[in-house]
Amino acid sequence: MTATADSHAGGEVGQARLRKEDARLIAGRTRWTDNMSLPGMMHMAILRSPLAHARINRIDTSEARSMSGVEAVVTGADVADDQGSLPCAWPITEDMKSPNAPSLAVDEVNFAGEAVAVVVARSAAEAHDALEAIEIDYEELPVVLDMSSAMTEGSDLVHPDLGTNASATWVFDSAEAGTGGSADEALAGAEVTVHRTFRQQRLIPAFMEPRSILVDPTGEQTTMWSATQVPHILRLMLAMTTGVDEHKIRVIAPDVGGGFGGKLQVTPEEVITFLVARKLGKPVKYTESRSESFTSAHHGRDQIQKLSLAANRDGTVTGLKVELLADMGAYLRLVTPGVPILGAFMFNAIYKIPAYHFSCTNVFTNKVPTDAYRGAGRPEATFAIERMMDELAAELGMDPLEVRERNWIKHDEFPYTTVSTLTYDSGNYEAATARARELFGYDALRAEQAERRRRGDTVQLGIGVSTFTEMCGLAPSRVLGALSYGAGGWEHGAVRMLPTGKVEVITGSSPHGQGHETAWSQIVADRLGVGFDDVEVLHGDTQSSHKGLDTYGSRSLTVGAMAVVQAADKVIAKARKIAAHMLECAEDDVEFSGGRFTVRGTDTSTSIQEIALAVFAAHDLPDGVEPSLDSEATFDPENFSFPHGTHLCATEVDTETGRVRLRSYVAVDDVGNVVNPMIVEGQVQGGLAQGIAQALFEEAVYDETGTLTSGTLADYLVPSAADLPSFTTDRTETPSTTNALGVKGVGEAGTIASTPAVVNSVVDAVRHMGVQDIEMPCTPMRVWRAIHGGAR
């Protein structure tokens, strides 16, 4: 890691500040939702369907109701009139089919894990005891699990009333859009074509803190604490779903232990706890177990991707056709249908592809609903195109880096409008790739690879490449509107100057581990010329940060911090007026720097703290100036930002056992300007682990009855430090030209880039043994089968 602190000497921005929030987060000395307790609080436990598809004929709760400590037993029928339908904010087409989505199942269940009844009791133990006494008479219905067969004529249906398992089909064609030619024509006339079908396995976000909810209905407002990424969206959606007035609801996301998109949701559990607490008039808490989380919190990925690439013999890509099936699971949750559509803009990646066709059909199955998971749509697209570039290189006998270079957008071609309509503001793929190549020792590793092949070593070496970009900073509201998303993409921020000169920053971007408190403090400290420790960042409570669109899509810094910057600039503008009055000069003659307002060309000055106190006293302010410096701003980005990078991965594949060992991994990322290199490093490292996990380890597996067999952490293999090499990371810095901070976002980069780098590397290790693809995760058995023939 090359530190860049020097170039920011004196300022806070650019320094690897230790994170303010870490002491309390790491030591656990904070308020997680589950360790809160209110007077008279009840505990709720949820009975979940063991079956993937069934009609509920009868629920007998009589015994459970009579058990010790039980306050109430609630079934779907009891809340049918109040619970509404869980929201889906992204109707991707006008004719999209969306089933009614009850929080508590009423007469049928559509996936194993769906909530069927709840017990509220004085203790959690009593609530769990009573769950076992509830009797349900289920009538099993045919189970739909496989997307491809779900789409065949005469297939059983998940929701018979919809008449089909297809929710919607979304199409983009560059010839129709006028951004390029026809992909079909390019394929028909191509010198070379490559066809592959990839499977994006189903993944589980596996955040560290399980979901937890506490609802207090005893005040004027009903207050909900929830381990959520999206307190603001949650409040709005609770109001819209249950009909309770928005101003009567307060939502608090206290410290939240990770989300990875898995807590970008309005969940059945939140709605149920809300309704039940209000019904009882008592505070109610619900905390899920890990196995409940796995079978009910939304999953991610799960697509079948069919790609066809057309190219010239010199490696120039002439067209790309992408046909997707995307598994929705049983219901459409908050942004379920839109996830694959976000990917539509990323298949062309960093390349100048002259003809592009994309189509995606969203399919219902009797499984846990899918939704956003770190990267959401973009990792899927990046994986597919980066795999295809390697396959093209192999087909042509070219070096995979050379094929990429032939096609990528050159540094001097920015801004560049792609075939899928986005305008990339900046980038330098040449620089990132050159640096990665050097750190990796690319040529030496290629030589070693050739030598091992020649010797017929048991352990073969593979080299995998991923030159990726992603769209970050979700999102320009007008673009979201054009994609029929139900909300905007702006963010809100506010700055309050306290009389003592200390500063409170309010952000609508609600963090769940990212380090907003530290980064926002650094930015505001520099902007206002105050100390890092003089800034307090408030977030995650609709009472204090009343407005926001929360944290996902690498948007916090690019959109959220920009709102704070604009609010801070308004504070300075207000203070300047007052400074001019105090210093008895014209406003134009006042210069602001390092927290001091100075009369130009003199040493007469006053500090922002002195002005804050003067404003508080308000004894002598200029006419027409209100006694407040406090300011707020709402920032709507003009464009996305486009971080990019070159990742190189070396794996050793044991051809006798199929085991893959990561030998080295180099990640050179360009995330634009860097506010805190340590936070960037943390995001990259964690992202790499998560992307590598998809390539090698994690998979949500259902058996033929629709039971999740990877239902615990013993079966769903989340890697630990022991399974990962020490990563080599570095950066190039090409500032974004879309926002004043020049930042691009880093939350998802590692995850997006690493999955194809690893799989490309594994395939590369054994390509000479006749292998062209290995399904993810590349388990030892799959790799061994790929080498030695037979089914996958």
- Residues at the site binding other proteins, with contacts judged by CB under 8 A: 124-125, 128-129, 132, 289-291, 656-657, 659, 697, 701, 709-710, 714-715, 717-720, 722-723, 779-781, 784-785
Instruction: Choose between 613 and 718: whose C-beta lies nearer to other proteins.
Output: 718
Nearer to other proteins by Cβ, of 80 and 781: the residue is: 781
**How far is C-alpha 8 from the geometric centre of its chain's CA atoms?**
30
For other proteins, the closer CB: 195 or 290: 290
Pick between residue 383 and residue 784 the one whose CB is nearest to other proteins.
784
Closest to other proteins by CB, 735 vs 780, is: 780
Cα 593 to chain centroid distance, Å, stands at 37
Nearer CB in complex with other proteins: 18/701: 701
Q: Which is nearer to other proteins, 290 or 411 (CB)?
A: 290
Which of 187, 186, 183 has the alpha carbon at shortest distance from 175? 183
Task: Provide, rounded to whole angstroms, the least separation between the CB of residue 131 and other proteins.
Answer: 9
Q: Could you tell me how far CA 406 lies from the centroid of its own chain?
A: 31
Smallest separation, CB 74 to other proteins (Å): 20
d(CA 351, CA 399): 16
Q: Nearest 5°: phi and psi at 77?
A: -60, -35
Burial 25-36 (b: 16+ CB within 10 A, else e): beeeeeebbbeb
The region, left, alpha or beta by phi > 0 then psi within -120 to 50, assigned to residue 510 is beta
CB 134 → other proteins: shortest distance, Å? 14
Which CB, 444 or 722, lies closer to other proteins?
722
d(CA 726, CA 652) in angstroms, rounded, equals 15
In angstroms, what is the minimal distance from the CB of 125 to other proteins? 5
CA distance 372 to 300: 6
What is the smallest separation between the CB atom of 791 and other proteins, expressed in angstroms? 10
CB of 128 to other proteins, least distance (A): 5
Task: Give the nearer residue to other proteins in terms of CB position, either 587 or 723.
Answer: 723
Q: Three-class SS string for 687-706?
A: HHHHHHHHHHCCCCCECCCC
The whole-angstrom distance between residue 141's C-alpha and the CA centroid of its chain comes to: 34
**Of the two residues 7 and 458, which places its CB atom closer to other proteins in the complex?**
458
* 91/658 with CB nearer other proteins: 658
Smallest separation (angstroms) from other proteins to the CB of 137? 21
Task: Give least dist CB 722 to other proteins, A.
Answer: 4
Secondary structure element (H or E) that encloses residue 764, with its range: helix 749-766
Radius of gyration of the chain (CA): 27
Instruction: Tell me the closest approach of the beta carbon of residue 748 to other proteins, in angstroms.
Output: 23
Rounded to a whole number of angstroms, the minimum distance from the CB of residue 68 to other proteins is: 10
Half-sphere exposure for 309 (CA within 13 Å, toward CB) = 28
CB of 124 to other proteins, least distance (A): 6
Question: How far separated are the first and last CA of the chain, in Å rounded?
Answer: 39
CA atoms within 13 A on the CB side of 85: 9
State the minimum distance, in angstroms, from the CB of residue 132 to other proteins.
7
Nearest alpha-carbon partner for 474 in 531, 528, 416, 549: 549
Residues with Cβ within 8 Å of residue 424, at least 6 apart in sequence: 409, 414, 415, 416, 417, 418, 469, 642
Q: In degrees rounded to 5, what are phi and psi of residue 233?
A: -65, -35
Nearer to other proteins, 132 or 139 (CB): 132
Residue type, 254: P
Residue 504, sorted as left (phi over 0), alpha (psi -120 to 50) or beta, turns out to be beta
